[in-house]
Amino acid sequence: MSLYQQAYRASLADPEQFWDQQVSLIDWVERPHSVLDQTAKPLARWFPDGRLNTCFNALDRHVAQGRGSQAAIHYDSPVTGTRRTLTYGQLLDDVSAFAGGLASLGVDTGDRVLIYMPMLPHTAVAMLACARLGAVHCVVFGGFAAAELRSRIEDFRPKVVITASCGIEPKRIVEYKPIVDEALAAAGHRVQRCIVLQRPQAEALMVPGRDIDWEDVHDTGRAAPTGCRTVASDDPLYVLHTSGTTGKPKGIVRDNGRHAVAMAWSMKNIYGIGPGDVWWAASDLGWVVGHSYIVYAPLIAGATTVLYEGKPVGTPDAGAFWRVIQDYQVSGLLTAPTSLRAIRREDPQAAEADRYDLSGLRNLFLAGERLDPETYAWACEVLGIPVTDHWWQTETGWPIAANPRGLESLPVKPGSSTVPVPGYDVRILDAAGREAPANTEGAVCLKLPLPPGTLAGIWGDPRRLERSYLSTFPGYYLTGDGGYIDEDGYVHILGRSDDIINVAGHRLSTGAMEAVLAQHPMVAECAVVGIDDALKGQLPLGLVVLKTGAAIDSGTLQAELVRQVRATIGAVAAFRKVLVVPSLPKTRSGKILRKTLREIIAGQDTGVPPTIENPEVLQLLRPLLAASS
């Protein structure tokens, strides 16, 4: 039996024993006596009586082991022309000081801190400082507009907000502080303090009495740095909101103990990264990839993590990724396929790659969206190293299906994210909840219990956890993806079966965009669906039915709706296209048949659905949708 098979079978046959053997990957203040509490509802609890501190595992223990002078973070920012390396010792000093500063503002164990910041080491420092204090952080991606930030503030109800004066996009400076001020003014929740990092590219106006400069907080803390506060394994480390099928994002809760074990296990066994290796997850700290694989996992593993404030192209050219790999001798890279598509579009022959020494790169990992065969083939040819498609989601926090390179490299099947990762019992279910035979498409589900590191709950809404994930097929977690498992046990993910779309590796709710379109005075009803895009994978398309008598030309309407989505959700939605249609397909109870729209657009038209009230509309829509996709 292969190493992978041994580990996989052991993890399912006796999960308790399997994870008990991984407990010592991290340092505990009180090692758990009990590994799994299956009686806990609705989700099992791992390591329930363990006590630890996540920041200690990410920093202190490495310094204590004599690796204080090893690089912890290489910050590389082509948009500002800055490069800086922080050793483990320096990062520990910074984090202890900032945690001390937060404590001086009254932030205590269990308090909540919201972080709305760009790709800076300071963002990682803020996250780790919260972990040090046992405070819960919630990072909001900088590409979200004020209304999205406001909804997260109202859901999370932070004591303190931490922000920067601006983020830097290749063509513009994005001033963060006015967005924070607007969100805070609109939110029905008052924060006590707002900490602001002033960047030289834009100066933030401070609100007297509430706002305080990052440097002042840091200086106060330097005089009284803080040690690690011990928390229970179950205590929340962070909340990260992700798109659900409604407009209201879900706050995924991650706890300390099971998360730390899963981070340590996956870094070693999936990504093959250990102490001293240089690792780069080219994503953003506002996404789950940033939480798991820019900050926590590489630092818990004692590796060096690259924090890149730039894009794959345009900062300054399509050689940017190759330059970073060379300059820091990166041995493992994780990014989204869209980044490679962007590079390939500008440099199809990969001439830029020849200018750099990429010999240190051992593995390329791709996730966040479907890996199309052309991009896979191109990456293999350009890099000549193993290219690994792997599948996971914000809720799980770490890969569900992958080629576990650190454990054993398995044969690759392009189009498949390889095999279920140890700990995940992946099953394909049909509509009636029966297991589908090999090669038959169905709902991709995970048989309970979920392994450590996966979601511990939904912030402030336990019933939503059951409703969204656990009630469709009792005993299983519903991933929301459709797919199949082939005769060799390889997992093939075919895409979301709900109203979530994936734009440039960013997960977005079409429901949230529909809510914005519906507010336009001329719009009677609307639907937003994803259409294929050669660069971003998918782009949103707004289908709009006008109110009777509405007089507006389609160009003006499109411009107004695009502006409104940008202002409400953010530029990251990449909402640019609107189609005025005479009507939308609906059921007798008035529900829009979005699945039918998706099928028509994907060219998988399955005829007339039995539940449709107005079948005649399909004849009108087919040519319109075909022309726009």
**Shortest Cβ 293–ligand AMP spacing (Å):** 11
Whether 543 and 527 have beta carbons less than 8 Å apart is answered as yes
Residues 493, 497, 500, 503, CA torsion sign: positive
SS3 per-residue string spanning 75-113: EEECCCCEEEEEEHHHHHHHHHHHHHHHHHCCCCCCCEE
Candidates 53-61, 127-135, 386-394, 470-478; binding stretch for ligand AMP (CB under 6 A):
386-394
**Shortest Cβ 458–ligand COA spacing (Å):** 21
The single residue among 266, 269, 502, 629 that binds ligand AMP, judged by CB under 6 A, is 502
3-state secondary structure of 360: coil
**Shortest Cβ 503–ligand AMP spacing (Å):** 10
Residue 53 interacting with ligand AMP (CB under 6 A): no
**Shortest Cβ 572–ligand AMP spacing (Å):** 12
Whether 319 and 347 have beta carbons less than 8 Å apart is answered as yes
Report the relative pairing of strands 476-485 and 491-496 from DSSP bridges: antiparallel
**Shortest Cβ 504–ligand AMP spacing (Å):** 11
**Shortest Cβ 396–ligand AMP spacing (Å):** 8
Nearer to ligand COA, 22 or 335 (CB): 335
Residue 394 interacting with ligand AMP (CB under 6 A): yes
**Shortest Cβ 167–ligand COA spacing (Å):** 4
The item of ligand COA, ligand AMP, none sharing an interface with residue 313, based on CB under 5 to 8 Å by kind, is ligand COA
Nearer to ligand AMP, 371 or 621 (CB): 371
Q: Structure tokens of 139?
A: 């990072």
Find the binding residues for ligand AMP in span 277-336 (CB under 6 A): 288
Residue 244 interacting with ligand AMP (CB under 6 A): no
Residue 116 interacting with ligand COA (CB under 6 A): no
Cα separation, 374 vs 491, whole angstroms: 19
- Contact letters (x/-) for ligand COA, 286-315, by CB under 6 A? -x-x---------------------xxx--
The single residue among 51, 507, 536, 586 that binds ligand AMP, judged by CB under 6 A, is 507
Report the relative pairing of strands 51-52 and 231-232 from DSSP bridges: antiparallel
**Shortest Cβ 61–ligand COA spacing (Å):** 28
The item of ligand COA, ligand AMP, none sharing an interface with residue 496, based on CB under 5 to 8 Å by kind, is ligand AMP
Query: Any idea which residue has 């809760």 for tokens?
Result: 253
Candidates 7-15, 179-187, 275-283, 476-484; binding stretch for ligand AMP (CB under 6 A):
476-484
Cα separation, 452 vs 36, whole angstroms: 9
Residue 538 interacting with ligand AMP (CB under 6 A): no
The single residue among 336, 444, 445, 455 that binds ligand COA, judged by CB under 6 A, is 336
Residue 533 interacting with ligand COA (CB under 6 A): no
Cα separation, 294 vs 307, whole angstroms: 7
**Shortest Cβ 202–ligand COA spacing (Å):** 13
* Cβ neighbours of residue 359 closer than 8 Å, sequence gap 6 or more: none
Report the relative pairing of strands 457-458 and 442-447 from DSSP bridges: unpaired
Q: Structure tokens of 536?
A: 């971003």
Cα separation, 367 vs 510, whole angstroms: 21
Indicate the burial class of 602 (C-beta count within 10 angstroms; 0-12, 13-18, 19 or more).
Answer: middle
Residue 283 interacting with ligand COA (CB under 6 A): yes
Whether 149 and 161 have beta carbons less than 8 Å apart is answered as no
Cα separation, 106 vs 328, whole angstroms: 39
Number of residues that bind ligand AMP (CB under 6 A): 20
Residue 391 interacting with ligand AMP (CB under 6 A): yes
Cα separation, 37 vs 360, whole angstroms: 43
Q: Structure tokens of 254?
A: 């991650």
**Shortest Cβ 308–ligand AMP spacing (Å):** 19
Candidates 89-97, 390-398, 424-432, 555-563; binding stretch for ligand AMP (CB under 6 A):
390-398
Residues 399, 405, 408, 410, CA torsion sign: positive
Cα separation, 392 vs 369, whole angstroms: 9
Residue 387 interacting with ligand COA (CB under 6 A): no
Residue 338 interacting with ligand COA (CB under 6 A): yes
Find the binding residues for ligand COA in span 365-384 (CB under 6 A): 368
Cα separation, 483 vs 606, whole angstroms: 18
Q: Please report how many Cα atoms fall inside a 13 Å half-sphere around the Cα of residue 360, on the Cβ side.
A: 18
Residue 56 interacting with ligand COA (CB under 6 A): no
The item of ligand COA, ligand AMP, none sharing an interface with residue 137, based on CB under 5 to 8 Å by kind, is none
3-state secondary structure of 290: helix
- Contact letters (x/-) for ligand AMP, 346-375, by CB under 6 A? ---------------------xxxxx----
- Angle 146-156/554-568 helices, nearest 10 degrees? 40
Residue 100 interacting with ligand COA (CB under 6 A): no
Q: In what order do the strands lie in the sheet with 236-242?
A: 211-213, 193-197, 160-164, 112-116, 136-139, 236-242, 250-255, 457-458
The item of ligand COA, ligand AMP, none sharing an interface with residue 242, based on CB under 5 to 8 Å by kind, is ligand AMP
The item of ligand COA, ligand AMP, none sharing an interface with residue 389, based on CB under 5 to 8 Å by kind, is ligand AMP
**Shortest Cβ 141–ligand COA spacing (Å):** 6
Residue 180 interacting with ligand COA (CB under 6 A): no
The item of ligand COA, ligand AMP, none sharing an interface with residue 572, based on CB under 5 to 8 Å by kind, is ligand COA
Number of residues that bind ligand COA (CB under 6 A): 25
Closest Cα partner for 402 from 425, 420, 386? 420
Residue 530 interacting with ligand COA (CB under 6 A): no
The item of ligand COA, ligand AMP, none sharing an interface with residue 50, based on CB under 5 to 8 Å by kind, is none
Q: How far is CA 513 from CA 286, 303, 527, 574, in A?
A: 20, 40, 9, 11
Question: Would you tell me which residues interact with ligand AMP (CB under 6 A)?
Answer: 242, 288, 367-371, 389-391, 393-394, 417, 479-481, 493, 496, 502, 507
Footprint on this chain of ligand COA (rule: CB under 6 A): 142-143, 167, 169, 174, 283-284, 287, 289, 311-313, 335-336, 338-339, 342, 368, 504-506, 535, 571-572, 574
